[in-house]
């Protein structure tokens, strides 16, 4: 019997995947574990492995096409089997505009979703297959929630209102339209379709900014001591430990002293994390990703540096696994190398604080006895979620972090 191959959620937050490339051709034999295709999720490009043996009978979503989680992307079975019934079933939901022959995956993707309004929400033709109450469907429509992302708690698994209370909001395109104008591109304007990553950045960061009341604490830190320490550690070392590794190790220790900062807002409770899992914002060609080094508070600088180097390299190549970028309890974002003196960052959930790190510059500093000295100074700004971290709590953490950076010995104390 031929079988439908469905788009799977390849990351916990994935709602839609873009078929980057088919690695098997129609008519080709497939063994369980073979890579069928590559799928661009919201964060990375992942291999889609087959879970069964058989022959790839039909590719339903061609390279460059998009498929929602649960959509049919291909049909497998024995050679020569009739799969027309399955194909007919799959068609209304899954088939995306076919790509122009011969064009590369990237340009095709752009062409395929040229209408920026395509919401990831409810196609009425597919809604009938999901058990949900009329009220739940209306609320989902109003809030832009994809019912397929939910599990129903009502009778026979029906999705009911309470299941929507904590549901994630889908792509902003599906949210109620803002009162402002919808722009019409002028002549010569380029309409850039949203990549999965752009969509998820838009969603997550808007959600963070709109739901977490942010406030900001800035402090200037004298870095001479830390720079000297780093120079001594790196002397004669072929691979130099990065400044980020130092920051993460020291921030990790400061977080263990301030568990209220190393916490997550959980709707009706707050979760205090026992380990400081620190994410580092890393730029990518179309967006950014935050690989996470786990338990920084208990790891050495060189250990963190080695892990970070590996994660960053794979992050830039778009090859991170979800477990490697999810669940940061604290995040560091550095624009120092871009010459930015100071800035504020948007909190990266589930963390409740993010540290925005500026450039290190020589500055005149008024020291004890009103003498002026030239010092290496760095400005950092901590964004805090006021639901979790009150001002005095954030300030105490930032003060200790600054003290540790000014005098790295304190981090060992």
The residues that are catalytic are 386
For residue 212, count CB atoms less than 10 angstroms from its CB and return exposed for 0-12, middle for 13-18, buried for 19 or more. Answer: buried
Nearer to other proteins, 160 or 172 (CB): 160
Nearer to other proteins, 161 or 198 (CB): 161
Nearer to other proteins, 160 or 359 (CB): 160
> Distance between CA 322 and CA 311 in Å, rounded?
12
Residues 6+ apart with CB under 8 A from 131: 152, 154, 156, 157, 158, 159
| Among the listed residues 216, 212, 256, the one whose alpha carbon sits nearest the alpha carbon of residue 388 | 212
| Among the listed residues 74, 72, 84, 38, the one whose alpha carbon sits nearest the alpha carbon of residue 54 | 74
CB of 136 to other proteins, least distance (A): 6
- Footprint of other proteins (CB under 8 A): 133-136, 138-139, 142, 153-155, 160-161
Nearer to other proteins, 23 or 161 (CB): 161
The residue written with tokens 């003498």 in the block is: 371
CB of 157 to other proteins, least distance (A): 12
CB of 30 to other proteins, least distance (A): 40
Nearer to other proteins, 52 or 153 (CB): 153
User: CB–CB of 61/38 below 8 Å?
Assistant: no
* Torsion over CA: 199, 125, 18, 184 (sign): negative
CB of 387 to other proteins, least distance (A): 22
User: CB–CB of 189/158 below 8 Å?
Assistant: no
Which 3 state secondary structure label does DSSP give 389? coil
CB of 268 to other proteins, least distance (A): 14
Parallel/antiparallel/unpaired status of strands 45-49 and 35-40 = antiparallel
DSSP single-letter state for residue 194? P
CB of 343 to other proteins, least distance (A): 38
For residue 306, count CB atoms less than 10 angstroms from its CB and return exposed for 0-12, middle for 13-18, buried for 19 or more. Answer: middle
Nearer to other proteins, 267 or 285 (CB): 267
Nearer to other proteins, 160 or 309 (CB): 160
Parallel/antiparallel/unpaired status of strands 287-289 and 282-284 = antiparallel
Alpha carbon separation from 287 to 157, 185, 290, 318, 374 (Å, rounded): 37, 23, 10, 11, 37
Which 3 state secondary structure label does DSSP give 35? strand
CB of 163 to other proteins, least distance (A): 11
* Torsion over CA: 224, 228, 229, 231 (sign): positive
Nearer to other proteins, 160 or 396 (CB): 160
CB of 133 to other proteins, least distance (A): 3
DSSP single-letter state for residue 368? G
């Amino acid at each position: 019997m031929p079988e439908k191959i469905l788009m799977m959620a390849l990351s916990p937050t994935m709602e839609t995947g873009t078929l980057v490339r088919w690695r098997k051709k129609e008519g080709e034999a497939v063994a369980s574990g073979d890579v069928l295709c590559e799928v661009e999720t919201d964060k990375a490009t992942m291999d889609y492995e087959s879970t069964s043996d058989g022959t790839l009978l039909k590719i339903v979503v061609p390279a460059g096409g998009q498929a929602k989680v649960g959509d049919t992307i291909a049909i497998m079975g024995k050679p020569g089997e009739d799969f027309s019934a399955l194909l007919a079933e799959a068609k209304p939901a899954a088939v995306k505009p076919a790509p122009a022959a011969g064009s590369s995956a990237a340009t095709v993707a752009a062409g395929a979703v040229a209408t920026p309004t395509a919401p990831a929400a409810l196609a009425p033709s597919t809604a009938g297959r999901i058990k949900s109450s009329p009220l739940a469907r209306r609320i989902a429509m109003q809030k832009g929630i994809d019912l397929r992302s939910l599990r129903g708690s009502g009778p026979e698994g029906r999705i009911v209102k309470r299941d929507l209370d904590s549901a994630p909001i889908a792509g902003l395109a599906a949210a109620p339209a803002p009162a402002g104008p919808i722009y019409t591109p002028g002549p010569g304007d380029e309409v850039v379709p949203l990549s999965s990553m752009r969509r998820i950045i838009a969603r997550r960061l808007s959600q963070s900014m709109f739901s977490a009341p942010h406030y900001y604490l800035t402090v200037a830190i004298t870095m001479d001591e830390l720079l000297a320490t780093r120079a001594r550690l790196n002397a004669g070392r072929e691979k130099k430990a990065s400044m980020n590794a130092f920051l993460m190790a020291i921030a990790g220790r400061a977080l263990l002293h301030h568990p209220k900062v190393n916490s997550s807002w959980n709707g009706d409770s707050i979760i205090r994390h026992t380990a400081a899992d620190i994410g580092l914002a890393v730029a990518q060609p179309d967006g950014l990703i935050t690989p996470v080094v786990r338990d920084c508070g208990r790891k050495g600088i060189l250990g963190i540096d080695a892990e970070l180097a590996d994660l960053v390299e794979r992050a830039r190549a778009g090859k991170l696994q979800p477990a490697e970028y999810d669940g940061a309890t604290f995040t560091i974002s550095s624009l120092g190398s871009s010459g930015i003196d100071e800035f504020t960052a948007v909190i990266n959930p589930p963390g409740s604080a993010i540290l925005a790190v500026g450039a290190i510059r020589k500055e005149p500093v008024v020291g004890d006895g009103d003498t002026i000295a030239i010092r290496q100074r760095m400005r950092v700004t901590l964004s805090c979620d006021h639901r979790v971290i009150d001002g005095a709590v954030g300030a105490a953490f930032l003060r200790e972090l600054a003290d540790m950076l000014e005098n790295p010995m304190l981090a060992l104390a």
